[in-house]
A and B are shown apart, each in its own frame.
Chain A
Amino acid sequence: MNNPQQSLEDLQHIKKMMERSSRFISLSGLSGVAAGTCALVGAWFASQKINCWVKGDCQLSRIIDTGGRQLMNELFWIATLTFVAAFVLAFLFTFLRSKKTGVPLWGGTTVRLFWNTMVPLAVGAIFLFRMLQLQQYDLIAPGCLIFYGLALINGSKYTLGEIKYLGYGMLLLGIVNLWYVGYGLHFWAMGFGVLHIVYGAVMWSKYERKASEKKQL
């Protein structure tokens, strides 16, 4: 009753069950695309603000507020809005995918992925917050990229493994950025925007497009 074909199917089943029970597989590529798009839009708004400040187009407010406190405030709100929008959209696409694959969103694998990405991210957030407090703005963008890259690499063991390449990309950009401190926003947009979109598109075409085509056949 056991033939090679059945053995092969058994092995595939074993592999599938091992992955399903140990990795968070619902992470959608579209989440990456959405988060990347938000990052690009946010970076564009931020660059508009900074440009107008540097060129002196917003003269009135500049005379009143010489320390750039208002600019900092506005940039802070742009960053917060960008993060919230990216997070909500990323969550939405992954939620939809988990409905499709039938794997519940909240399980042991989610908790493990969450902790393993949250630890480097939280440490990074504290570090960068302190740098802002000390008005050390030069290394904020590379700091974001490096801590986020480390978080992704750490989390890659608990979700689709390819995410570690996204992490390496972030690290590389962050490290190069350390020597080009004036271009933080460009590197930031490149990493959080372009890399996210490229990664998301590749993952979507690798895992999700095929799956939806199969269903149609």
Chain B
Amino acid sequence: MSLIENLNKIFDSRIRLGIMSALMVNAEISFNELKDILQITDGNLASHLKTLEESGYIKFQKGFVGRKTNTTYSVTKAGEKAFKTHLAALEKMIGNMK
């Protein structure tokens, strides 16, 4: 079914879906802030961020706050498009329920 095809496998995970949602409405978010928003551990967040980054949906920028490294993440054009397609597919699924 084409409907199912539009649902992105990458977004099957609630955590990855959450990361994308947060990045869609913010220009950039730091690693620590993402951790607070999603309330997950460092390792868990890092692995999901890696998956999203490898798919080309997000990009990161390393910076410094004082001496500490501060990595901020933002969504790419491809990521924005993929997320919107996924949203539309979710909406259609719900529309079929009626």
Contact = CB atoms under 8 A, between A and B. Distances in A.
Interface of A: 2-5, 7-8, 10-11, 13-15, 17-18, 20-22, 102-104, 107-108
B87 interface: yes
A18 B90 CA distance: 16
A11 B90 contact: yes
B36 A103 contact: yes
Contacts of A107: 33, 36
A18 B36 contact: no
B72 to A, nearest CB: 10
B39 interface: yes
B7 A20 contact: no
Say what secondary structure dominates the interface of chain B.
helix
Contacts of B30: 108
A15 B17 CA distance: 10
Given A10-B17, A22-B26, A108-B29, A17 B93 contact: no
Contacts of B37: 17, 20-21, 103
Nearest to B39: A102
A4 B7 contact: no
B14 interface: yes
A108 B26 CA distance: 10
A3 B7 CA distance: 11
B65 to A, nearest CB: 13
